[in-house]
A and B are shown apart, each in its own frame.
Chain A
Amino acid sequence: MSWYLLGVVTQSVRGGSPAQYPIFNRAIECTWALLEFFMYAQYKSHDDATLSYMEDAMHRFHIFKDVFLLGRAGNKVKAKAIALRTELVKKRKVDEEIDAKTWMQSKKRREMNTWRDYISHEIHVFKESEANFHHPMILLMSHSVKEIR
């Protein structure tokens, strides 16, 4: 799987919008760095050069890993995000009850779309702020280089 994963990712993200270019490029770089580390780690013997390549790959992984931050949102973060969404929807309903009677249908639709975008944005920001890469495996990768040395 590791032999063709980078190729699959690179082909999958071709032809995105200009706003997506930096995200996709970072995703490719991060995948590349981790797979490169894995390929070097499989060497039967190491010297200073291969170990420095491993450290370089590890460094690049850490530079670009933020692109996958939302994928690190675990069940606790998701549960909190659902609670936040419920709270925001309740707030929207209260506003709707107060103002909806005076709104025209088109105004109501616009307001609803604005609310939906606002809630999605808030959930996105919340997940990004709560998710993290605090996982022992990532640190163990760093230690592997030292242990091999």
Chain B
Amino acid sequence: MLIEVETTPRLGDTLVPLIFMSDGRHLSNFAGGKIECPAYMTIGNLSSKICQMTSTQTVVMVTLLPIPIKNSNIPQKQLDEQWQTNREVLNEVLRQVLLRLTIERNPNAESGYYTVLCADGNLRHCKRVLAASLADYPGYRDLHHLERHVCFWCECPKNELGDYVPSDMEDPQRDHNLYRMLSDANTKAADAELSSRHVHGGFNVFQHIPCIVCDLPKPDLLHTMQIGMLDHLQKWILHCMKTHERLDKYNAIWLSVPAYHDLTPQNKSSEEIPQWNGKEME
């Protein structure tokens, strides 16, 4: 069994917060939409000036996450089994990647520490910690072993996902330590409890990392707003215009928006554009 490592730094230590990022990348439309899903890593000690220079190579690719095959027209039972296999494969890949970073089999005082010659010429005793991860919603859902259409930050019921929640009345955060204990218990009651919290059973590498897992995801403007909510808003507006017979007028005004500074004029109506990217949404 994997054992957690103490992450409290000692005096003089340098914390190296590791930030992981992953997203699907569309490669080709030929032969059925080929994509790849690389996972990248960077550290949080870098200044933003250095981070943004491509020549400094501050972001490195650590692995290519497995892309599950597309299953269509197969029975639901077989599909569930395939999804279970996909989750196991993904977790095994992540375990291999994260094992060397945060999980130790035989922890001791020096576990997780390493000495680094830094750019200023000094040697530093560094401790690496998993600090943040950036991914789109399906990415987080798979990484955290959750069912579809649930929040990865809190245990909000599925039928309250779209309701307004004041900041002082939020649902409890997801407790991955509890999920690990329930998963390890492997009883019917534990499985039922996991199921009621919309969590898949079985091994999940994030449940064995000494950190608060639901603190890892950070606000993501691209996936949440630009190609998330604004894309939905666009569709809702189009539907509303269509219902009230305003679509022609809407499209005419849309196409008549002139060029101005970074604003490029549109040559297609909004419903003719199959997919927006983040830059176009700005």
Interface residues of A (CB under 8 A from B): 1-5, 7-9, 11-13, 16, 20, 23-24, 27, 31, 34-35, 37-38, 41-42, 55, 58-59, 62, 65, 67-68, 70-72, 132-148
Q: Decide: B236 and A136 in contact? CB cutoff 8 A.
A: no
Partner of B229, one of A13, A72, A141, A146: A141
In the assembled complex, which residues on chain A have CB atoms less than 8 Å from the CB atom of B250?
A: 8-9, 12
In the assembled complex, which residues on chain B have CB atoms less than 8 Å from the CB atom of A37?
A: 225
Q: Decide: B240 and A27 in contact? CB cutoff 8 A.
A: yes
Cα A131 to Cα B60 in complex, Å, equals 43
B107, CB-defined interface residue at 8 Å: no
B224, CB-defined interface residue at 8 Å: yes
Given A27-B237, A134-B161, A136-B137, A12–B246 Cβ distance below 8 Å?
Answer: yes
Given A139-B161, A140-B151, A148-B219, A70–B239 Cβ distance below 8 Å?
Answer: yes
Among A1, A55, A137, A141, max chain B CB count under 10 A is at: A1
Cα A62 to Cα B160 in complex, Å, equals 12
In the assembled complex, which residues on chain B have CB atoms less than 8 Å from the CB atom of A146?
A: 167, 170
Q: Decide: A68 and B239 in contact? CB cutoff 8 A.
A: yes
Q: Decide: A136 and B150 in contact? CB cutoff 8 A.
A: yes
How many A-B residue pairs lie within 8 Å, measured between CB atoms? Answer: 137
B120, CB-defined interface residue at 8 Å: no
Among A41, A71, A132, A136, max chain B CB count under 10 A is at: A136
* Secondary structure class of chain B's binding surface, majority of residues: helix
Q: What is the distance, in angstroms, from A69's C-beta to the closest C-beta of chain B?
A: 9
Chain B residue with the shortest CB-CB distance to A20: B244
Cα A12 to Cα B256 in complex, Å, equals 12
Q: Decide: B237 and A9 in contact? CB cutoff 8 A.
A: yes
Q: Decide: A141 and B158 in contact? CB cutoff 8 A.
A: no
Chain B residue with the shortest CB-CB distance to A14: B249
* Across the A-B interface, the 10 shortest Cβ-Cβ residue pairs: A133-B162, A71-B239, A62-B164, A68-B236, A71-B236, A144-B219, A12-B250, A134-B161, A137-B228, A138-B162
